[in-house]
Amino acid sequence: MTQLLLFNVTNGLIIGVFYVLMALGLSLILNLSNVINFAHGGFLVIGGYIAYSVTPYVGFWGALLIAPPLTALIGFIVERILIRPLYGRDPLYGLLLTFGLAFIIEDGTRFIWGAQGKPVTVPAVLARPLSSELFFITGYRLFMVVTTIIVVALLFAILRYSRLGIRIRAGTLDLETVAAMGVNIRALRSLNFAAGVFLAGLSGVLAAGQLGLEPTMGTGLLMPSFVAIIVGGVGSLTGTLIGGLLIGVASGVTAVFLPAASEAVIYVLMALILLLRPRGLLGEEGMMT
């Protein structure tokens, strides 16, 4: 039983890392633009399908490099045309718009690529487990973890040390003052939105290697990402990181004792944390990191 539990904790951390990647993109957009992006799962799907489409020409590694920036470009255009007019309005407008956009993306994907799932094969070198005992740690899953760690480290470094990152963080605290200091906040928001969507696109490519690629795949991955943000605390990227790992482990451990509740447990965890600490684990209004 101890071994089973340890296996599931480890496995939960691996799953949690993926939630972190999704949730950080969501969190970036929410923190600066105040947009609850329900289309984030849709952008994940777009990333996956772009990867599927370009893989025959450039291979998996090429697709991994091409798909996320292309998805980010789509996100940039969407922000420019649809999201920007809603800034300054009630957040409900943005929520409703992205909610509708999620359906449009799902049906659009179905229209372009068909309702039937698409097979995505990962490179043979990644498609095997480390050992027969630790079968759930495959080369591909390790690759996902390492990729996420690198991307998260880069993101935190950019936010901490680059001018763009500092402006994003400052904008999260007081956007009006940032604007008064001459920063083009329109461009800042666009870039920030595109960065969030980039992470969704990257999640899509990585997910397509492990899951079945189909138009609805983003839906199931979106809600845990929202939960990760709420558990970690809205406004805190570090909190989002911890929240993602926590719900991954909670889900994995619950699967040992009560498999049918492995999905519900993350919402129970969210409710408990909201009861005990309504702002989330690291959430402080107006704080970013």
Which of 44, 42, 67, 45 has the alpha carbon at shortest distance from 54? Answer: 67
Distance CA 278, CA 10 (A): 28
Task: Please state, in angstroms and rounded to a whole number, the distance separating the CA atoms of residues 257 and 13.
Answer: 17
Work out how close the CB of 139 gets to other proteins at its nearest, in angstroms, rounded to a whole number. 9
* Shortest spacing between CB 48 and other proteins, in angstroms: 12
Beta carbons within 8 Å of 25's beta carbon, 6+ residues apart: 40, 195, 196, 197, 198, 199, 200, 203
**What is the closest distance, in whole angstroms, from the C-beta atom of residue 3 to other proteins in the complex?**
8
- In this structure, the number of other CB atoms found within 10 A of the CB of residue 142 comes to 14
Contacts with other proteins by CB under 8 A lie at 3-4, 7-8, 11-12, 14-15, 106-107, 110, 114-122, 127-129, 132, 135-136, 138, 140, 207, 210-217, 219-221, 251-252, 255-256, 259-260, 262-264
Distance CA 270, CA 160 (A): 29
* Alpha-carbon gap, residue 276 to 269, rounded angstroms: 11
Nearest residue (CB) to other proteins, 69 versus 129? 129
Task: For other proteins, give the closer residue by CB, 118 or 279.
Answer: 118
Decide whether 4 or 153 has the Cβ nearer to other proteins: 4
Nearer to other proteins, 15 or 178 (CB): 15
Between 146 and 154, CB nearer to other proteins: 146
10 or 238, CB closer to other proteins? 10
Phi first, then psi: what are they for 212, rounded to 5°? -75, 135
Smallest distance from other proteins to CB 241, Å: 19
- Smallest separation, CB 176 to other proteins (Å): 28
Tell the smallest beta-carbon distance from residue 252 to other proteins (Å).
5
Short-list 55, 18, 85, 78, CA closest to 222: 18
Question: What's the Cα-to-Cα distance from 283 to each of 158, 195, 239, rounded to whole Å?
Answer: 21, 22, 7
Nearer to other proteins, 137 or 166 (CB): 137
With beta carbons less than 8 A apart as the criterion, state whether 120 and 126 touch: no
The CB-of-7 to other proteins minimum distance in angstroms stands at: 5
